[in-house]
Amino acid sequence: MSGIEEIKNILTAPISITYQNIEELKNHIDEERVRFINVVGKNGSNSPDLNIFSNEIMEEIRIRFTGKKSPLQEWLKSLRNIPNEERKSAGAKINELKSEIENSFKSFSENYRIQVENKKLNSETDDITLPLTQLNLGSRHPVMTVMRDLMVPFQRMGFSVVDGPEMDNDFFNFEALNVLKDHPAREMQDTFFLASEWVLRTHTSNVQSHAMKERKLPLKIVCPGCVYRNEFDMTHLPAFRQIECLVVDKGIHMGHLRHTINELLNAAFARPVKLRFRSSYFPFTEPSAEVDVECQQCFGKGCRSCKHTGWSEIGGCGVVNKKVLESCGIDSSVYSGIAFGFGVDRIAKDRFAISDLRSLIDGNVSFLKSFGLV
Amino acid sequence: MLASLNFVERFITLPKVTQNININSKNISTTQYDLEKIAPLLTRQGFEVDSIQVWGAGLETVVVGYIEKIEPHPTAGKLQICQVNVGEATLRQIVCGAPNARADIYVAVALPSTKLPNGLEIKPSKIRDAESNGMLCARDELGLPTNKEIDGDGIWELDIDSQGGVPRKILENKIGYPIFYALNMTDTLLELSVTPNRPDMLCHEGVARELMAGFTYAKITFIKKKDAEFAAQVTLTEENIKADAIKNSRAKCGEISFTCENHLNIPAFFVLIDSIEVKPSPAWLRNQLEALGQNSINNIVDTSNYVLLAYGQPNHAFDLEKLSSQNPKEKQLILRNAKAGEKFIGLDSKERSLYEADEIVADIEGAQAILGVLGGEHSKVSSQSKKIVVEFANPNAVSVRRTSRRHGRQTDASFLFEKGVDVQKRYKAALEFFALISAESKNKPHYCSTIHSVNAQKKPMIVTQFNANEIEFNSHDQEKVLGANIIPYKDQLEIIESLGFTLKNESESKTKATVPSWRSQDIAGNADLVEEFIRIAGIDLVPSASFQSQAIVSHDDPQFAFNEKISSRCSALGYNEVISLHFMRADDHAKLSLNSINSLGEPVALINPIIGDEPLMHTTLIPDLLRKVSRNISYGIKSGQLFHSCRTFQNRDANGERIFNSNGESIGLHNELTYKLDNTLEYHYTHGYAYTKEESQTGRPVETPRLAGICFGNKSEKTWQNSAETLWSLHDIMAHVQEISRSVGVEISFARISDIENNSEFQFHPIAKALHPGRRVSFYIKDENNKSVSLGWAGELHPNTMRNFEIEVPCYVFELNIAILMHKTMLPKEVTQRVTNAQKFPTITRDFAFLLDEKITGKDLNDVVLNSIKDIIKSEVPAVLNSIKIFDIYRGKGMPENKKSVAFQISLEPTERTFTEKDILKLTKSIINNVTEKFNAELRGV
């Protein structure tokens, strides 16, 4: 391969461009061909050494061999100087070289481009161990994520999302739900009072009383929302979230309740889970039950998270007490209902293994950012 | 309810398993309760077993020993060296300092490796050069309650009955055996959760009853014990007591006559017993009480507690002779309300000052007991007592609950009264009281009589005849409630009967069930009976059944879905969602430099706040967010973004009427909260959201959904790719708000705000003072009448606000009223602005730079540029203007005073043909001419 000097010499060497006859021209053409092959190789097959070839040199080569002032062009212009009968074959000779040079140069340029590109690519290897770009992504609060996920199965089962007030009066929060006047739940120890007859709702069940009184039957509703109890420690926030569902229709019974809860919890845990129904008591349902799901940490073996019982408590449910239907103006001999309610914070606590519920209200950005979409 | 299985076994036999344990190289076969057969039943039936403890667990290596020989320690005066037989080949040498250590007694020996409840681990050691291989224990060293009068202060002597011991005859064969086992003290204690409808489960008889029903259904054999009650051992009967109680209002106990005056109108009767012998309780009673964590006092007090634990019947024995009276032969108790400030010394020796609402039992001197809660020190039964009067009053549950809370003292008695006692069984309990002390005394006590109290109308108040509730129970009830035929009718009846109901069959499918006295509060109809049998059989048997219901998909309230959209957009904008407790502090308005506490609407005060300094329901989400920022900074997190979507509350209904007139009275904010409301824009009570479908929202406090966000510290941090931090700016947060609004299809406009009312130039906003005067803005939307409505605001915190909330990095905040935004999205949409055609021709951009006066705003420039090409792109050069983007503003070096260089780029999308050079020239010329002319500007470059 020619060195840079050699190439420069070829490119700058004076060339005789005049000819008197075809023989002379043929000599010129052969010499020019040799010079060109010297630069780009036969058919332009040389592999260009990037120490010698640069974009500038490539351009110089193009100009020197195919430019307006290149010998080829000059020779074409000079065709009129030779005898008529020779002109045709002389022109053919020139054009032959011209297309040869053009084709070879094209291949050579392609080789050059590949070389340049490879050199560039080879010099651009990143250190994949460097810290990644800090993306400014926000996050949803884990409790809200759980809440949203738990709402999906309800909605798919045909429950309508219904809202209710967080400040409500005795009637909707207690009375209509068969929580009578002297019930301990109505004492200051458990409930936040705003006035003697007004409280911060202690459960989302107040939405049930509103819906039963204010909406048309049949009802198939799910009520997500914030509720309040006068308790504050590692396992209790005074403001926390519940989801509650209510169905009131003709012929509704406990079997429907089981179906709803099975479906919901299988969907929530994304696999069939083992459930346990324990008899319990709530003023607003009869029969009442607490629902336990097999502890998802130990799968029933017993661990710290389930206090060695193998079960973790999910929520309460039951067949709506006739007294509740009646105090909301529903004929209990025609209609019956089922209800199921549970705390969202507690499920979030289990799902994300949060030991102290108070960290949920702390607002620590790193803590918040550590939660994904599931 | 802490249930002792030994105690339950007084009523029924329980299933057991035999286990072999190896202690002190002795193979001991012990019989234990078969918990696998007991605990799951209780849990299923509705009484979750929270915990199971074995009394004496961990003390298996404390064994029965017999001191064979004893000699003084050669060098330590108070110590003795004992040779103790613990059933090994050789005697064990143990050094002991107890004064009662002597030869020929049976003692509790803690062998080496024992860990005592006080944490002491027993190891072989040398005490003043004498080897000691164990420890002779006192009761308290084993964690057992100690009564100095009975137990002395030495080591435990195992053959003394009053110390819980057993006769020497038995101990002889138990040397080396674990003492809890040898003394029959091993007990299993279940902590049961009892629901409020089942106070009958707060005693051991109730637990036994419930287990009987469970065992019957589960086919676990058991025997109901006939000798469970002591009543069989006396001639007195329940009927005698009832007859006396209803007949007598006065009776004599020896030479003393007794009456009771009742000002509380509650049922009460009193049993008078003479010639009692007060002494330590027998071992079985002492051990039983101690296993349940109670202290044994004497036979009378322990009997009183036994009756409570066995039958759930609280009662209190007074020493009749200690009651004060004018005539020592005429004693009287008075049931009345306390006088305010009246003093009372309880059995716990504490002096209390009573309240007028407290109900008490008094003599003429004063309170002798707080009714249903606590007995008094003065008239308690002591070793000298001979005559007692046992009170069985049925105080009001609510009154007892409140009294017990007022005095911060919950006792077993008050707990039972709160939940409700079985009033019919009070007489049987009185009989058991007498029968038990009689059974355990050599010199039999004398039952004098029973009397009732009299009220002002001389009425007895008590009843001795009770009507039982009857329920008709049908075979189809099960299917109606449970949706399936789960167990046969015959089996249902069997379960119900096993729970103590009396059944009268009327036909194949119809039965009358009589509710037992202990369930009279709780069982009302046939759904209850279905609950009863399914609870015993297990709700898990109810088969799942799917709904056959109409598919209704249009009844959703929109807020949940709307909030999800907004929140997901916020998190896409980099904000991290937070939640809060929805409370606010009384000085938050001052920290935000608001004119008054009512500036953002009148907050609702809690009567009983749980966090002392957060007594208000929030009207704004900002203070909580600022505190969270401050906390982040204290954690060392100096940058971040937070958002909170939450309801806020105010003490006004949608018409502006105040709801709670004594708002804040209990926390001393009453006057402040009655300040007039400011003109509160988007915080106004008319801008709430109706969360109910009641016909009118009148009289309902306004709840307003709001969204607040905060950006603090740096927008981007230094990294290897980016050598400098950038700070947040007002325009960042404005863009965020714009994007949030756009995400729900709402366009907003911006306006500067002022902290001065009646400012002619800018709208006043109450929050403005909390914000940087040059960096604050409010957001507007057009309502259905094309009127501008304030949606919210944003701005950088004023340094004062930063100081008040202890924040030391720049902070940009916004808050929006979501009700207004939601309302707007529900209006019919204008869709004309949407570009719906696919692009056909290449977008053209051109850059310009002008030297402008400082006072020219971005909007000014934007308007002029827009106007300069508006007509041209309409027809001549058909195009859509994509944007006019200011990309550089330069002041300072090289610029004249009060001038700035502003560079911007316009982006145009041709709609009919590709632009020619001529087209472009036409547009640029028009822009240059207009800008230079209108602003007297100088073109710096194109």
Q: Are strands B80-85 and B62-72 parallel, antiparallel or unpaired?
A: antiparallel
pLDDT in tens, B729-778: 999 999 999 999 999 999 999 999 999 888 778 889 999 999 999 999 99
**CA separation for the pair A27, A29 (Å, rounded):** 5
**CA separation for the pair A215, B826 (Å, rounded):** 21
Q: Are strands A160-161 and A219-228 parallel, antiparallel or unpaired?
A: parallel
Partners of A237 on chain B (C-beta within 8 Å) are 581
For A253, the closest of B483, B611, B717 (CB atoms) is: B483
Residue of chain A whose alpha carbon sits nearest to that of B634: A364
Average pLDDT, chain A: 90
Residue A81: band (very low, low, confident or very high) from pLDDT cuts 50, 70, 90: confident
Which residue is listed with tokens 């900074």?
B633
B632 touches chain A (CB under 8 A): yes
15-54 in B: which are within 8 Å (CB) of A?
43-46, 48
CA–CA distance from A25 to each of A39, A81, A91, A95, A104 (Å)? Answer: 21, 11, 10, 12, 21
**CA separation for the pair A63, B784 (Å, rounded):** 72
E strands, B551-701, are 576-577, 583-584, 616-617, 640-650
**CA separation for the pair B646, B706 (Å, rounded):** 6
Phi-psi domain of B876 (left: phi exceeds 0; alpha: psi -120 through 50; beta: other)? alpha
Partners of A166 on chain B (C-beta within 8 Å) are 582, 647, 649, 691, 703
For A281, the closest of B196, B581, B701 (CB atoms) is: B196
Question: What is residue B6's DSSP assignment?
Answer: H
- Centre a 10 Å sphere on the Cβ of residue A267 and count the other Cβ atoms it contains: 17
3-state helix, strand, coil split of chain A in percent (to 5) is 45, 20, 35
pLDDT at B802 over 70: yes
| Chain A with chain B: Cβ pairs closer than 8 A | 264
What is the location of CATH 3.30.930.10 in chain B? Answer: 579-825
pLDDT in tens, A284-336: 998 999 999 888 888 888 887 777 888 888 899 999 999 999 999 999 999 99
Q: Which residues of B705-720 are buried (b: 16+ CB within 10 A; e: fewer)?
A: bbbbbbbbbbbeeeee
Query: What's the confidence (pLDDT) of residue B679?
Result: 67
**Dihedral, B332, B335, B341, B343 alpha carbons, nearest 10:** 50
Its CATH class, for the domain covering B2-56+188-228, is alpha beta
Phi and psi for B431 in degrees, rounded to 5? -65, -45
**What is B230-452's CATH superfamily?**
Phenylalanyl-trna Synthetase, Chain B, domain 3 (3.50.40.10)
B669 touches chain A (CB under 8 A): no
Structure tokens at A166: 């967080």
Nearest chain B Cα distance for residue A138, angstroms: 4
> If you average pLDDT over residues A335-344, what whole number do you get?
94
What is the location of CATH 3.30.70.380 in chain B? Answer: 844-941
Residue of chain B whose alpha carbon sits nearest to that of A368: B576
Partners of B534 on chain A (C-beta within 8 Å) are 279, 287
Please tell me the least confidently modeled range out of B667-681, B695-709, B810-824: B667-681
Nearest chain B Cα distance for residue A254, angstroms: 5
Structure tokens at B774: 């040059």
Cβ <8 Å between A163 and B528? no
Maximal CA-CA distance, chain A: 130
Query: What's the confidence (pLDDT) of residue B87?
Result: 87
For B701, the closest of A141, A167, A319 (CB atoms) is: A167
Partners of A130 on chain B (C-beta within 8 Å) are 720
Cβ <8 Å between B546 and A259? yes
Report percent pLDDT > 70 for chain B. Answer: 99
pLDDT in tens, A184-227: 667 666 899 998 889 999 999 999 999 999 999 999 999 999 99
The answer to whether B134 and B84 are in contact (CB under 8 A) is yes
Find which of B51, B416, B578 to mutate to test the A interface (most A CBs within 10 Å of its CB): B578
Binding residues of B: 522, 528, 531-532
> If you average pLDDT over residues A367-373, what whole number do you get?
89
Nearest chain B Cα distance for residue A187, angstroms: 9
Question: What is residue B606's DSSP assignment?
Answer: P
Query: What's the confidence (pLDDT) of residue A184?
Result: 67
Cβ <8 Å between B556 and A368? no
Which residue is listed with tokens 């198939």?
A220
Fold of B844-941: Alpha-Beta Plaits (3.30.70)
pLDDT at B835 over 70: no
Query: What's the distance, CA A32 to chain centroid?
Result: 63
Nearest chain B Cα distance for residue A355, angstroms: 17
The answer to whether B44 and B86 are in contact (CB under 8 A) is no
B662 touches chain A (CB under 8 A): yes
pLDDT at B833 over 60: no
The residue type at B927: I
Instruction: Give the containing element (helix H, strand E) for B136.
Output: strand B135-136
Q: What is the CA radius of gyration of chain A?
A: 44
Which residue is listed with tokens 């009692």?
B276
pLDDT in tens, B139-161: 999 999 988 888 888 999 999 99
Partners of B555 on chain A (C-beta within 8 Å) are 160, 162, 215, 221
Cβ <8 Å between A237 and B196? no
What is the location of CATH 3.30.56.10 in chain B? Answer: 2-56+188-228
**What is B62-185's CATH superfamily?**
Nucleic acid-binding proteins (2.40.50.140)
Question: What is residue A139's DSSP assignment?
Answer: B
Find which of B519, B529, B581 to mutate to test the A interface (most A CBs within 10 Å of its CB): B581
Is A294 strand, coil or helix?
strand
Could you confirm whether domain B579-825 is CATH 3.40.50.970?
A: no
**CA separation for the pair B658, B656 (Å, rounded):** 6
The residue type at A248: V
**CA separation for the pair A307, B129 (Å, rounded):** 48
Half-sphere exposure of B296 (CA within 13 A, CB side): 28
Average pLDDT, chain B: 91
pLDDT in tens, B79-125: 999 999 998 889 999 999 899 999 999 999 999 999 999 899 999 99
| ipTM field | 0.86
* Closest to A340 in 3D by CA, of A274, A273, A280: A280
Cβ <8 Å between A361 and B581? yes
Find which of B190, B576, B617, B667 to mutate to test the A interface (most A CBs within 10 Å of its CB): B576
Residue of chain B whose alpha carbon sits nearest to that of A141: B577
Cβ <8 Å between B543 and A187? no
What is the location of CATH 3.50.40.10 in chain B? Answer: 230-452
A3, with CB counted inside 10 A (0-12, 13-18, 19+), is exposed
Cβ <8 Å between A287 and B481? yes
Cβ <8 Å between A214 and B693? yes
Is A135 strand, coil or helix?
coil
pLDDT in tens, B838-890: 778 888 899 999 999 999 999 999 999 999 998 898 888 888 888 899 999 99
Q: Are strands A275-282 and A285-294 parallel, antiparallel or unpaired?
A: antiparallel
Find which of B549, B604, B641, B670 to mutate to test the A interface (most A CBs within 10 Å of its CB): B549
Find which of B410, B487, B564, B579 to mutate to test the A interface (most A CBs within 10 Å of its CB): B579
pLDDT in tens, A325-338: 999 999 999 999 99
160-219 in B: which are within 8 Å (CB) of A?
195-198
The answer to whether B641 and B711 are in contact (CB under 8 A) is yes
The residue type at A308: H
Structure tokens at B565: 């959209």
How far the first Cα of chain A sits from its last, in Å, is 64
Query: What's the confidence (pLDDT) of residue A1?
Result: 46
Structure tokens at B379: 């008239």
* Closest to B845 in 3D by CA, of B806, B899, B931, B903: B903
3-state helix, strand, coil split of chain B in percent (to 5) is 30, 30, 40
Partners of B631 on chain A (C-beta within 8 Å) are 362-364
pLDDT at B300 over 80: yes
pLDDT at B417 over 90: yes
Question: Cβ neighbours of residue A83 under 8 Å, at least 6 residues apart?
Answer: A21
Q: Is the dihedral of CA B615, B618, B624, B626 positive or negative?
A: negative
pTM of the model: 0.83
Partners of A286 on chain B (C-beta within 8 Å) are 527-528, 531
Nearest chain A Cα distance for residue B865, angstroms: 34
Cβ <8 Å between A136 and B401? no
Please tell me the least confidently modeled range out of B289-298, B333-342, B909-918: B909-918
Binding residues of B for Mg(2+): 522, 528, 531-532
For B547, the closest of A144, A166, A256 (CB atoms) is: A256
CA–CA distance from B607 to each of A237, B76, B614 (Å)? Answer: 18, 66, 11
